[in-house]
Each structure stands twice: as structure tokens, then as C-alpha cells.
């Protein structure tokens, strides 16, 4: 299977859901985005590395990196290789002088390590197809009319009453507002209807 390279586009906090965050991965040279809900600790670990902050004591992922470097283990890449019942699965591709191994990992931990090692992040087409969100390019955006959406559409029942076209417009609007948690709910509703 061909791997598709991703990069971290955004890290978003949900005001409506306590301790809920989303890391948004974007297809390099593409318009698809892959939002992944993660916990607060993992969001902090990713944010610290992205901002190149130096905590006074090493965080867990810093400790893991230091441990790997001390024993000459290099992290070459991470691959988000599976999606089951809304849960993403990942592998770390690591090597020493003598061996190369794949290590199972939670996706949030894999991303925190990828940022620290500066290694590429990959996934497969079937994962982007089922969980990705297609962003509009600027030309398509200008061609479409502006659609105003009431703020009361957070409720899942409201999403169920909307047409597929309305859901797509709403998805584009919430992505512009960088409300990735809400975008995930809308994406899931669209995916449910396409099955």
C-alpha cells in the first residue's frame, strides 16, 4: 500500500467538551485533513514539542526520546496504519545498528514522538477516505455562495435533519472556524449516510 505523508496542521481545544482536544493532520500537497481526538496530556506533550518549549524536567515523551537516543535507537517514521470503531492505530518504525522493528503505539504518543524526532508521519488512502475531511481550495470557495448556519447545530439531532449538501457546507464553515471537535461529529454524520 502506498503511504501518504501528513503534517500537523493544528492542535485544537474543545470548549464544549472538557479535556477533549483534536490534533489535525493535513495531507502534504493535498486538501484532505485528518482530525484525531486526543487527551489533554498528549495534547500538552505535542504542543510543548511544537513550540520548542523546554520544561524544567523531562516530560514522558522527552524521557522516551532520551532513552532511545541513549541506546542508539532511531525513530525513522510513524505510520497511522489502522482505524477500528473510531480508534486510530499507529506503528513506530525504529532501528538500531543491527535491526529495524515496528512498535505498536497509540497515535497520540506516536505523534508526540514524531514531533520530537522530526520524523515523517504517514497514513494510508483507506484511512483518509474513511476518516478524512476534504478542504475546499480557494477557487471553489469563491464559486460557492456563503451559507450562514445557526449556532444551534451542535446537537446530533440537528445534524440528522440536515441534507448532505447542508452538512458539507456546515463542515466547511466549522473548519474555517477551526472547531475540529465539531467537524469530527459532522464528518461522522456524513460518513454514516454514505454507507
Q: What is this structure's pTM?
A: 0.73
Over the stretch 74-131, which tens digit does the pLDDT of each residue have? 999 999 999 998 899 999 999 999 999 999 999 999 999 999 999 999 999 999 999 9
Specify whether the CB–CB gap between 155 and 145 falls below 8 A: no
Over the stretch 154-174, which tens digit does the pLDDT of each residue have? 455 688 888 888 888 888 887
Which CATH number is associated with domain 3-131?
A: 3.10.690.10
Give residue limits of the domains in the chain: 3-131, 136-194
Query: Please, which pLDDT band fits residue 137 given cuts at 50, 70 and 90?
Result: low
CA distance 175 to 26: 12
CA distance 105 to 114: 12
CA distance 158 to 120: 39
pLDDT, residue 180, reads 67
Tell me the angle at which helices 180-194 and 164-176 cross, rounded to the nearest 10 degrees.
160
DSSP 136: P
Amino acid at each position: 500500500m502506498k503511504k501518504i505523508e501528513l503534517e500537523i496542521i493544528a492542535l485544537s481545544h474543545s470548549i464544549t467538551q472538557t479535556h477533549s482536544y483534536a490534533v489535525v493532520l493535513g495531507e502534504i500537497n493535498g486538501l484532505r485533513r485528518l482530525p484525531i481526538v486526543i487527551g489533554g496530556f498528549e495534547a500538552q506533550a505535542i504542543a510543548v514539542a511544537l513550540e520548542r518549549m523546554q520544561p524544567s524536567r523531562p516530560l514522558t515523551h522527552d524521557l522516551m526520546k532520551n532513552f532511545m537516543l541513549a541506546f542508539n535507537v532511531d525513530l525513522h517514521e510513524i505510520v497511522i496504519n489502522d482505524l477500528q470503531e473510531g480508534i486510530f492505530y499507529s506503528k513506530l518504525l525504529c532501528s538500531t545498528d543491527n535491526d529495524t522493528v515496528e512498535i505498536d503505539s497509540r497515535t497520540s504518543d506516536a505523534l508526540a514522538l514524531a514531533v520530537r524526532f522530526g520524523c515523517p508521519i504517514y497514513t494510508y488512502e483507506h484511512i483518509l477516505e474513511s476518516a478524512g475531511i476534504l478542504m475546499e481550495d480557494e477557487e471553489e470557495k469563491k464559486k460557492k455562495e456563503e451559507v450562514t448556519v445557526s449556532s444551534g447545530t451542535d446537537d446530533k439531532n440537528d445534524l440528522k435533519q440536515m441534507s448532505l449538501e447542508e452538512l458539507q457546507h456546515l463542515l466547511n464553515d466549522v473548519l474555517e472556524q477551526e472547531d475540529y471537535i465539531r467537524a469530527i461529529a459532522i464528518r461522522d454524520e456524513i460518513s454514516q449516510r454514505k454507507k
